[in-house]
Amino acid sequence: MFTNLEKCPRNLLVCEKSSLLNDKSRHATHVAKHFFNYKVSVLIPECGITPSGLKSVFNSFSKYYLLRNLPVYKLLEEEFLEKVVKKGSLYALSYKTRIDQDNTFALLPSGQVILSVDKDTYEELGLEGKASQYNHRQPMRYVVTLDMTDKSLAPGGKRYKRVMWALQEKVQLTSDFLMARYSIGGNGEDLLQSIFSQYSCRELRPSMSTQSLRDLLCPSLDPTDLHGDSRSCDPLQFLEWLGAVTMDMSCNNEASSFVSTYCCPEPQSSASQALLCTAVGLLLPEDIHSLLEELRRYFDEPRFTSWLSVTVHGFADSPVSWGATEHGFHKGGENFYTFVLFKNQDYWLHMATGTNDGCPP
């Protein structure tokens, strides 16, 4: 009767090894294309207090907005397209919508509007789309992609009018949205507020937390050994350990513990202390990139640790994972990546998704 409990859902883990000093390194591209992030965690072994530079970067993370009951067609109106969308670096994601049950929407910084809708909504809209790749025997969900930078969708054109008519009159889709715009000068937020002034708009900032860990057993990592041999544990073991530490689970395999008998993988070493810093909110890829740039400078001074890690979690119910690749939920909505940065500027990158996802880039 327990046979199903033994079956683990399929997952995908793509691993890369390179150097931040390598001109052909793709780390910046991977970060830039993972659009919708809700949590980032930084783990630094043998660190007791938050470095001032790290604290400064966390405090500079972009603010974002929660808009209530915003009609989807507002994302396609001419003023919004000209003043915001076509300027780039805008992120919008429907809030508290379930990708496997509800109509879910996203606006990508590339100018694409993604509508992931159920079969009835799709048929009522009458817009061109494609069946979700995560259907059962019969298509029950469809994805409509509207590229607002395409000339065929220029305001005033025949196709643009057809789309606006479908979203305004046939089926007026509405949702709460999380929205942010990255802008160096800081004018993007004021512009969003002015355009959507008639809607309930709440300004938010990512929440930050730090935790000091004592006597932490850590895997021994060798930057030349990505896949694990006698010098390092393999990526799956490392990610499992990192998840346990982030969730504040004991990794000591104590006989007296009735909660967890998990133990740190071998080979291992003991860190007298470690720092865990976490930010939660709508976290923009540009801010994640700034965080990585700051952390690579951490090793400019002598350190007791040879590595640190950065884990970025995407929204479980985002309609996309990397780029415009469709994302599904299945059981857990897994959608994250982890950098392990070494003091010699080498790095490992682990990109993970669940059952209902394409292979990470």
pLDDT average, residue stretch 30-51: 96
Task: Give pLDDT, residue 222.
Answer: 87
Residues 172 and 286 in one domain: no
More confident residue, 349 or 183: 349
Q: Is 359 inside any structural domain?
A: no
Task: Give pLDDT, residue 87.
Answer: 81
Q: Is 361 inside any structural domain?
A: no
Task: Give pLDDT, residue 1.
Answer: 37
Residues 143 and 220 in one domain: no
Residues 102 and 20 in one domain: no
Last residue within a domain, chosen from 141, 174, 204 = 204
Q: Is 35 inside any structural domain?
A: yes
Residues 223 and 199 in one domain: no
Closest Cα to residue 286, out of 22, 88, 24? 88
Task: Give pLDDT, residue 38.
Answer: 97
Question: pLDDT at residue 146 above 80?
Answer: yes
Most confidently modeled range among 29-38, 133-142, 219-228: 29-38
Q: Is 48 inside any structural domain?
A: yes
Q: Is 120 inside any structural domain?
A: yes
pLDDT average, residue stretch 139-162: 94
Q: Is 323 inside any structural domain?
A: yes
pLDDT average, residue stretch 166-186: 88
* Residue 93 near residue 282, CB atoms below 8 Å: yes
More confident residue, 257 or 110: 110
User: What pLDDT band is residue 334 in, cutting at 50, 70 and 90?
Assistant: confident
Task: Give pLDDT, residue 3.
Answer: 43
pLDDT digits (tens, 9 = 90+) for 94-104: 999 999 899 99
Q: Is 286 inside any structural domain?
A: yes
Closest Cα to residue 347, out of 79, 5, 28? 28
User: What pLDDT band is residue 345 in, cutting at 50, 70 and 90?
Assistant: very high
Residues 183 and 244 in one domain: no
How many percent of the chain have pLDDT more than 90? Answer: 65
Burial 77-88, CB ≥16 within 10 A → b, else e: eeebbeebbeee
Q: Is 360 inside any structural domain?
A: no
Name which of 64-68, 245-249, 316-320, 343-347 the model is least confident about.
245-249
pTM of the full structure? 0.91
Residues 84 and 194 in one domain: yes
**Token pair in block for residue 353:** 């998704």
Residues 6+ apart with CB under 8 A from 327: 99, 314, 318, 319, 320, 321, 333, 335, 353, 356, 357
Last residue within a domain, chosen from 172, 204, 236 = 204
Residues 195 and 216 in one domain: no
Helix 52-59, helix 285-296: angle, nearest 10: 170
pLDDT digits (tens, 9 = 90+) for 189-212: 567 777 888 889 899 999 999 999
Last residue within a domain, chosen from 204, 232, 251 = 204
Residues 258 and 180 in one domain: no
User: What pLDDT band is residue 229 in, cutting at 50, 70 and 90?
Assistant: low
* Residue 66 near residue 193, CB atoms below 8 Å: no
- Look over the chain and give the mean of its residue pLDDT values, rounded to a whole number: 88
Question: pLDDT at residue 255 above 70?
Answer: no
pLDDT average, residue stretch 154-165: 95
Question: pLDDT at residue 225 above 60?
Answer: yes
Residues 300 and 344 in one domain: yes
Q: Residue 89: which domain range? A: 64-204
What is the number of structural domains in the chain?
2
* Residue 348 near residue 15, CB atoms below 8 Å: yes
Closest Cα to residue 126, out of 71, 171, 72? 171
Residues 84 and 51 in one domain: no
* Residue 39 near residue 243, CB atoms below 8 Å: no
Residues 305 and 340 in one domain: yes
Residues 238 and 277 in one domain: yes
Name which of 118-122, 160-164, 224-228, 348-352 the model is least confident about.
224-228
Most confidently modeled range among 10-14, 207-211, 236-240: 207-211
pLDDT average, residue stretch 264-280: 91
Question: DSSP readout, 200-232?
Answer: -EEEE--EEEEEEEEEEEEE---TT-SS-SSSS
User: What pLDDT band is residue 179 in, cutting at 50, 70 and 90?
Assistant: very high
Task: Give pLDDT, residue 5.
Answer: 42
